[in-house]
Structure 1
Amino acid sequence: MVCDQFSYFSELAKQKLTAKRFDHCLNVAKTAKSLAEENGVDPQKARLAGLLHDFYKETDSEVFVEMIKNGHYDSDLLSYSRGVWHGLLGADLLKQEYEFYDEEILNAIRYHTITDPRMDQLAKIVFVADYIEPKRNFRQVCLAREIAQENLDAAVLFEIRSSIKYMMIRSARIHPAMLNTYNALYANNSKLHDLIQKLEENWK
């Protein structure tokens, strides 16, 4: 069933997205599958979630604005952009347009940019896979990949921390869900911080 869905949505995504974005989705799907196998999560479900995470990334912003204005959403969402909307609202579009009802996968799509304290293992995997997929080439990605091999939660913590720093440097608004995830799940976990610090020191 999931394999059939992957083939079906692959064809749709290929038509819907630019070649570069589609390639990114395939790479995230492959990375998510690998992380799932390492962390005891259904690899086929992770693969499908990875494929679908950016399914609405190139949707016109006006579609999202109309959803926020006419739906049951916090109007504060209007102060963000498609970078937040394509996951949070894209999951609802996927449900509406394609009658896709797998809540685990939908939540992984919702949380892959802003995170959430309620993230399950699948959502964490998609969040991490999006950050470390093979075509990513920013400065700390090799370190992020190494952390992901050691501990999934440490990878989530490292990537939230890095994302917050990146947004602060650029004076970008940080969605409160990301701060809440950091505070609620990881801020007091010294073992994760110790692991990250150790790998950072080795990486330097």
Structure 2
Amino acid sequence: MDRELLIEAVKRQMPEKRYRHVAGVVDTAYVLAQRFGGDPDKAWLAALLHDYAKAWPTDRMERIIREQGLPAELLDYDKELWHAHVGAWAVREELGIEDEEVLDAVRYHTSGRERMTLLDRIVCLADYMEPSREFPGVARIRELAEHRLNEALVAGFDSTIGFLIERGKTIFPLTILARNDLVREIAAAGKASER
């Protein structure tokens, strides 16, 4: 499917305001991929698709999670997580996207995961910091993202975790694992540079 057809397919899934966010993530992911040595074309594609199912009704997403054997534990956590896994399933089924790296970047853009790929990191970070995002700490995330991908992503996870704690919500375990994995990676890189 060519880019224009993909863009139109994505636009049909969401209101205009959500698509403006997606367009911001696409532009930001493309820049981050160039900055940090990622594949700009894959970053473009994964960013375009990342919120494919975001505007779908929760009962539709719940049905897909149950019927398609997606991780059932998602249903025990905030519905904001559901669209990522459902979206990865949907873009494979509806759009014929087969690239597992792109599908994983869609699947884990909200939660993160251990051993995130560079593409996972780029899409997740772009989702945090695209130009229309405004929340406490986003300026710091953008500043870190000028030179330090992992540190910027940790700051994003810290923001999400802090937000959930303030509201008394549960935290999806993959988010904690992703953050801890990045913190260990940053520490190891720091020790290696001291040698």
Task: Give the TM-score normalised by structure 2.
Answer: 0.90
Deviation larger for 40-49 or 182-191: 182-191
Aligned to 1:25: 22
Tell me, in whole angstroms, the C-alpha distance in 1 between the residues paired with 2:28 and 2:86. Answer: 24
Please list every run of 5 or more consecutive structure 1 residues that lacks an aligned counterpart in the other structure: 194-204
Tell me, in whole angstroms, the C-alpha distance in 1 between the residues paired with 2:124 and 2:94. Answer: 24
- Give the aligned residue type for 1:112: H
CA shift for structure 1 position 127: 0.5
- Give the aligned residue type for 2:67: N
1:22-171 superposed matches below 5 A: 22-171=19-168
Distance change (3 Å), C-alpha of 1:191 and 1:132: farther
Tell me, in whole angstroms, the C-alpha distance in 2 between the residues paired with 1:141 and 1:74. Answer: 30
CA offsets, 1:21-60, max 9 Å, x none?
Answer: 0111011000000000001111122112111111110011
CA offsets, 1:148-193, max 9 Å, x none?
Answer: 1121111111111111111111111111001111223314734889
1:8-23 superposed matches below 5 A: 8-23=5-20
Could you list the runs of 4 or more consecutive aligned residues of structure 1 that deviate by over 4 angstroms after TM superposition?
Answer: none
8 A contact 2:77–2:171 mirrored in 1:
no
CA shift for structure 1 position 62: 1.3
CA offsets, 1:126-149, max 9 Å, x none?
Answer: 101011111112232111100011
Tell me, in whole angstroms, the C-alpha distance in 1 between the residues paired with 2:188 and 2:181. Answer: 15
8 A contact 2:137–2:159 mirrored in 1:
no
Distance change (3 Å), C-alpha of 1:135 and 1:192: farther
SS for the counterpart of 1:114 is: coil
Deviation larger for 124-133 or 4-13: 4-13
Tell me, in whole angstroms, the C-alpha distance in 2 between the residues paired with 1:124 and 1:188. Answer: 13
8 A contact 1:115–1:177 mirrored in 2:
yes
CA shift for structure 1 position 16: 2.0
CA shift for structure 1 position 81: 3.9
Deviation larger for 65-74 or 127-136: 65-74
